[in-house]
């Protein structure tokens, strides 16, 4: 049975929604369209959020305090010294210090933005049944030894130390999964077939 061509018409079983105004014959059941939209918007929302662990937030606040205090003071002293040397147009020390000052002020703005917009996560937020940002996940690839990964936001990712970003291929594959689930991750070296053994 061909779907009706009018937006929002009840065919008797589904409400059909035309998803393209220039091609009104392209319709989908409204329920499946809403599910499709909801699933993709949820993933998009997760990817757009800045996640920080409590430890990560503390480290950023320490860095911010250092940059706005001792580091700024040191830059100010160096600039004053360079200015006292005379002609600034040929003063390499002044130019280098101004450039460094620009990087520092940029970093300060970046940290302030992250802290202002970040969602702070605690461990696995008490949800040990599914993988969420903040979870520590034990996985195994076939006959290889078990490995534990901490799923964190991109600002704290450190793969060499077992901290993987929720935006990485493995992080995306793990999100929402349960113990016993098998995931498939595409890497530059090929596809990995992994089994989730534990979530904490």
Where would I find the beta strands (DSSP E) of the chain?
A: 9-10, 15-18, 27-29, 51-53, 119-121, 136-141, 147-152, 163-165, 182-187, 190-199
- Helix 92-117 × helix 72-84 angle, to 10°: 160
| Spatial separation of the C-alpha atoms in residues 109 and 1, rounded to whole Å | 58
Residue 174 makes CB contacts below 8 A (sequence gap 6+) with 131, 135, 137, 139, 149, 151, 183, 196
pLDDT for 140: 93
Tokens for 83, please give them.
């200015």
In the numeric block, the tokens 């010294």 are attached to: 81
Tokens for 122, please give them.
């605690």
pLDDT for 10: 38
Q: Which pTM was predicted?
A: 0.60
Tens of pLDDT along the chain (200 residues) come to 444 433 333 334 333 334 343 344 434 444 443 443 344 444 444 445 778 888 889 999 999 999 999 999 999 999 988 888 777 677 788 888 999 999 999 999 999 998 998 888 876 555 678 898 889 999 999 888 999 999 999 889 998 899 999 989 999 999 999 999 999 998 888 888 999 999 98
């Amino acid at each position: 049975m061909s779907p009706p061509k009018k937006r929002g018409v009840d065919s008797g079983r589904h409400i059909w929604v035309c998803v393209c105004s220039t091609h009104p014959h392209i319709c989908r059941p409204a329920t499946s369209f809403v599910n499709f939209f909801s699933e993709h918007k949820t993933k998009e929302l997760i990817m757009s959020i800045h996640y920080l662990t409590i430890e990560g937030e503390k480290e950023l606040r320490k860095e911010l305090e250092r940059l706005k205090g001792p580091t700024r003071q040191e830059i100010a002293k160096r600039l004053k010294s360079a200015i006292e040397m005379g002609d600034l147009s040929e003063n390499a020390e002044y130019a280098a210090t101004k450039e460094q000052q620009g990087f520092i002020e940029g970093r300060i703005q970046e940290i302030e933005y992250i802290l202002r917009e970040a969602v702070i996560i605690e461990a696995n937020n008490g949800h040990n049944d599914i993988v969420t940002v903040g979870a520590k996940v034990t996985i195994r690839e076939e006959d290889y030894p078990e490995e534990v990964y901490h799923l964190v936001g991109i600002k704290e990712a450190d793969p060499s130390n077992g901290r993987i970003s929720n935006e990485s291929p493995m992080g995306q594959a793990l999100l929402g999964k349960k113990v016993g689930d098998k995931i498939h991750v595409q890497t530059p070296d090929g596809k990995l077939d992994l089994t989730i053994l534990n979530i904490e």
